[in-house]
Every structure is written in structure tokens, then in C-alpha cells.
Amino acid sequence: MLDNVYKYWYDSPSPLTEVHLKYLGDALKKAGSDGAFSHRDARFNLNIVSKWIDPSQTQSNVAWTKRFFESMEPYSSGHYINYLGELSNELLAASYENPKYRRLQEIRAKYDPQGLFTSLKQGFVTRA
């Protein structure tokens, strides 16, 4: 895993890009499991922060980020929703364990039936 992180970080098309790799330890396991936060057994947290200034570099930076993201899938137990730049229904669902995702959909259907919060970047993409 670390070799892969190093390879992609070293080949980043922008010197402004940051890669954050955090060791989580057991602190997440100690919290109650009734909250929306999932993947409490994860040992690491990886955040790819692609940054660039020149708009002409957008395509190469976005492509690099997607390749890096996809290359880390074999090591991943899920996704942290606040780190996702682009949302799809699949990535959104993968950010939560299935029972928690269903519960969040039920809560959204009850308290936000008009989709007021769907305009938020990390809001639910689909109707509940």
C-alpha cells in the first residue's frame, strides 16, 4: 500500500497536491456504533487533496486523482464521505455500512422530503 501511495504522490502533476495518510488506531472502535459514521474498523485514513492553479491543468490533475483513487481500492474498506470530491450513488452508498445508509435514507425521507440538503456536496444524490 505504501509503495502505491509513494508512486502516485511522486508522480503528481502538481506540486501543490497533498496526500494525507493517517493512522487511526482504535479510537474509532471505542465510540458507539449507533451513529452514521461507518468503517470504524479502518486502520488508516487516506485523503488525496489535488490542487492546481492553472485551469489548463485541470484534466491531467483530475485524471491523476481518479487513477490514484482507483489504485487504492484493493486496500480500502470504504470511503469517508467528506473526502469525496465527486459523488455518485455508488460512492455515496460505499461511504456507509448498509444498515446505516438505509437508516439515513429513511431519516432524509421523513425530515427532508423536498431535498433541501441535496445541493450540499456530500448530500444524498438519490431520492430516499
Those residues whose C-beta lies under 8 Å from the C-beta of residue 76, and which sit 6 or more positions away, are none
**The most confident of 1-10, 41-50, 76-85, by mean pLDDT:** 1-10
Please check whether residues 69 and 31 belong to one and the same domain: yes
Please check whether residues 21 and 55 belong to one and the same domain: yes
DSSP E strand boundaries for the chain = 18-23, 44-49
The residue segments making up the domain with residue 92 are 88-128
- Total of domains in the chain: 2
Please check whether residues 74 and 92 belong to one and the same domain: no
Q: What average pLDDT does the structure give for the chain?
A: 78
| pLDDT of 71 above 80 | yes
The helix/strand/coil state of 19 is: strand
